[in-house]
Amino acid sequence: MTRADFLKTLSLGTLAMTTMSLNQLDNLLSSGPKSARMPALFLGHGSPMNALEDNPITRIWRQIGRDLPPPTAIVSISAHWMTQGETKVTAMPLPKTIHDFGGFPQALFDVQYPAAGAPDLAAQLKEELTYTNLGHDHSWGLDHGTWSVLRHVYPEANIPVIQLSIDMRRDGAWHYAFGQALQRWRDRGVLFLGSGNMVHNLRMLDWDRPDGGFDWAEEFDSFGAAKIASGDHQPLLDYRSLGRAAQLSIPTPDHYWPLIYILGMQHKDETAGFPVTALQMGGISMRSVQLG
């Protein structure tokens, strides 16, 4: 019996009332099979409406969830939690669902993603990571960068989830090295999820063009994919030096840095796959990357 199976049997009420820690849960299940290295994912999340829609991309997300081995927990690095000069990790037992957007149908605001948190994992990260000092956060929760995709990958919300913020004062090399520092938790059954978009220019969207990208978007998306496929990540860390296509594709790096964390987690013996490769409305890449 895995931790995921055990958590599935608990109601939210039981989760709210139980005093069993995740460390105790690990001990309880220690006689079961050990977790192998978990894949790592970057999902281009696009519009929040993807949370409600049944479309070719969300069907791929659902298939990914069916194909993945069950993780012990999920650490999400979302484009929508930005901090300045520090990195935080959510440490509450029951994170709230954050509706951090406006102008969408009420049905989207009604969505709840009631996954449990993983306070013990947050404590372990804070204690063991020497790369940077992690602050524990008890007020954020799960923003739409996280739940809009997890609602498809794990629709039962039966895997504990924590979020890691993005320190926007840091550069690409720093975020990449942070990903490398987190890599070993993949061997502990943790699924890392980066949620953003490799190309994300909302100011230049063509709303009458649901599919396809502008020439600069196609150029940078293809360039990025080639570098990822070859394992040559270094050129992607300083995107400002990559010319016009990169600058138009990444006017701000909030949606780009989650990808860099995931690339930093790649082992030398792993290849990268692209479950989704679509571009939308001229200026958004929905490309997904899967390691392992």
Q: Residue 116, SS3? A: coil
**Do 195 and 287 contact (CB within 8 A), yes or no?**
no
The domain locations on the chain are 3-291
Task: Give DSSP secondary structure letters for 21-82.
Answer: -HHHHHHHTTTSPPP-PPPEEEEE---GGGGT--SHHHHHHHHHHHHSPPPSEEEEEEEEEE
In the predicted model, what is the mean pLDDT of the chain?
A: 90
CATH number of 3-291: 3.40.830.10
Report which secondary-structure segment, H or E, holds 192: strand 190-196
Instruction: Give residue-wise pLDDT tens across range 14-47.
Output: 333 333 344 444 443 333 344 589 999 999 999 9
- Angle between helix axes 257-264 and 172-182 (nearest 10 degrees) is 40
Among residues 64, 68, 14, which one has the least CA distance to residue 44? Answer: 64
Q: What percent of the chain has pLDDT over 70?
A: 88
**Do 251 and 244 contact (CB within 8 A), yes or no?**
no
Average pLDDT, integer, range 234-249: 97
List CB contacts of 218: < 8 A, sequence separation 6 or more.
279
Q: What is the pTM of this model?
A: 0.87
Structure token digits, residue 254: 């909030």
